[in-house]
Amino acid sequence: KVAGIPRDYVIFDADDQRTLVRQVLRELDIDVKQYRPTAVHGAISRAKNELIPPEAYQPSSYFGEIVRRVYERYQERLRANGGLDFDDLLVETVRLFREHPEVLGRYQERYLHALVDEFQDTNMAQYILLRQLAARHRNLFAVADEDQSIYRWRGADYRNITRLREDYPDLAVYLLEQNYRSTQTILDAAQAIIRRNPNRTEKRLFTRRGTGLKVTVHEAYDQDEEARFVVNTIAELTLQGKARPGECAVMYRTNAQSRALEEAFLRAGLPYRLVGATRFYARREIKDLIAFLRLIHNPTDATSLTRIINIPPRGIGKRTLLALEEAARARGVPLWQIVEEVGTHQDTPLLGGRAQGAVTRLYRMVRGWIEAREGATVVQLMDQVLAETGYEAYLRDGTEEGDDRWNNVQELRAVAAEYAGLTLTDFLADVALVSDVDNLADGVDAPTLLTLHSAKGLEFPVVFITGLEEGLLPHSRSLDDPESLAEERRLMYVGITRARDRLYLTYAFRRVRYATSEPNAPSRFLEALPPHLTEGSRIRSGKRRVEQAIAWTTSWTPTATPSFTTGDRVMHRVFGRGVVLESQARGDDEEVTVAFETAGLKRIMGSYLTPAD
């Protein structure tokens, strides 16, 4: 009552909040396709985390101005409905305590001590609330480590640790520097990386577990070879009795990276456990695109047609679909035939004008893809589907989740690029084989695949961190923002310190992105590792590496005589035996085109090949 909130208030959940933002956008005549409700709501939530009310919100861009308008109306609509969102539970409590000291006083006497775990993950609103509650008795105990603050995108602010020290000059600080999990080598590697971050508490981690094994650094030719290295290494450790499969974890920066790893485990016939995500080929956006391609391949596939008939939304609702399905059942014909008749105006009475227009547009679009099928590659068909449906705009709603889903689409596109000389039928058949996998039963001893964010709080005897390349880890979104780059470094620190005994860090010389194979610079995090802590691949300067890679892929002027000639028989550690078709000098190495007996045609740097016996 004192707070001005009705006793019977309701809490709007995440779906309710997004729906309300969408309604407000429409009321203000703002295009929801250009200004996605999820992105606008995220900006409003961040403002609330910073305790910024609508009237104090200062936009710094036109998008910010849109947020300001929506924020004001959104709060009005919440109040009119007697509702609060999740952020309001904090904001309104802080306001209540600020405006009514007598209420705050009662709670200060009720809660004489406050203990906060994971303090580095608090936001501003939470910090102010804690400061209010602890102001009278000053009994505040916080457990924190700014080196493990990896949730900035959720509003977490590690700088609250600094604020705590400034607000409580007499604060007693105890450093917990003894580690009971990792070997000293692993701890030293983690400290070598995190030490480069500013605004942190210097710690000297130590353990009584001994020095331990060196960190293994492995350079693979591409993401597929990297995945095979991981699978083969786990198999070797298991056969040698050095680790069980379930004691191994494979970590990566983005969910899209799991595709190559999952396929490597599947092709090896080995089980794996995926944590915090859906298996690659079971992800919504992947199933959507596969359904589009299956429909192009076979228009009578009613399951695929039903899945994508209104994806992205195109005005074909449940009632329209039901009418189409009932007509197909009544006549005993495929659903596509009914769509075709509507689309060519052979059966106009079936649907109303708006619904018929939507179905007609869908029919013409799919018919165009079918006609293009014979002369197009799988990638070209996929690009046509993405462009004509507006699927990218549908997925990328301004959130990191939207970006991750689009990355998954690009990963599938990279797979499709490998089928340049094959048919859509071949592609769909192979996808069916690798996607037809049951979920792993509980109790099966299998390696764990997970993102670095999902690894927080976990530990494993053996850890692989894959994709250690500039633009991937650290992520490309962080390269121009010092705060984001510092968080990427903290993310790497968290990943390393999940390992108890063995740590493998891998990166690929080339990685397929957007259906093109591009050379990569090793991550700056690898360059930060002292040589005496590592074994395996020698980490070369990222800048120099990029210059060499660009020279290899763009310059056709030989600087040295190639070691391999057409017809030479060669051996590759992963791909096996093959015959050289062509070789051309690239800087101080050469790029060799090889037809392998089992792996097919590959372009590989000569330094990865040896003459076959």
Reported as a single tens digit per residue, the pLDDT across 315-345 is 888 888 898 888 888 888 888 888 888 888 7
| Count of C-beta atoms within a 10 Å radius of residue 177 | 11
* Averaged pLDDT for residues 430-452: 72
Which two three-digit tokens encode residue 565? Answer: 């000639």
- Confidence check: pLDDT of 456 > 80: yes
Q: Where in the chain is the domain with CATH 3.40.50.300?
A: 215-279+443-550
- Confidence check: pLDDT of 477 > 50: yes
- Which CA distances in Å does 81 have to 12, 29, 85, 246? 10, 21, 11, 50
Q: Mean pLDDT over all residues of the chain?
A: 85
pTM confidence score: 0.71
Alpha carbons 224 and 572: distance in angstroms, whole number: 14
**Strand, coil or helix: 82:** coil
- Confidence check: pLDDT of 279 > 50: yes
**What's the topology of domain 10-90?**
Arc Repressor Mutant, subunit A (1.10.10)
Residue 444 main-chain phi, psi, to 5 deg: -75, 135
- Confidence check: pLDDT of 46 > 70: yes
Most confident of 198-212, 531-545, 557-571: 198-212
More reliable by pLDDT, 349 or 141: 141
CATH class of 282-431: mainly alpha
- Confidence check: pLDDT of 147 > 50: yes
**Strand, coil or helix: 508:** strand
Alpha carbons 404 and 426: distance in angstroms, whole number: 27
Distance, CA of 475 to chain centre:
10
**What's the topology of domain 215-279+443-550?**
Rossmann fold (3.40.50)
- Confidence check: pLDDT of 501 > 60: yes
CATH number of 555-611: 2.40.10
More reliable by pLDDT, 240 or 7: 240
Contacts of 465 (CB under 8 A, 6+ apart): 251, 252, 452, 473, 492, 495, 496, 503, 504, 505, 506
- Confidence check: pLDDT of 184 > 60: yes
Q: Where in the chain is the domain with CATH 1.10.486.10?
A: 282-431
pLDDT category, 74, cuts 50, 70, 90? very high
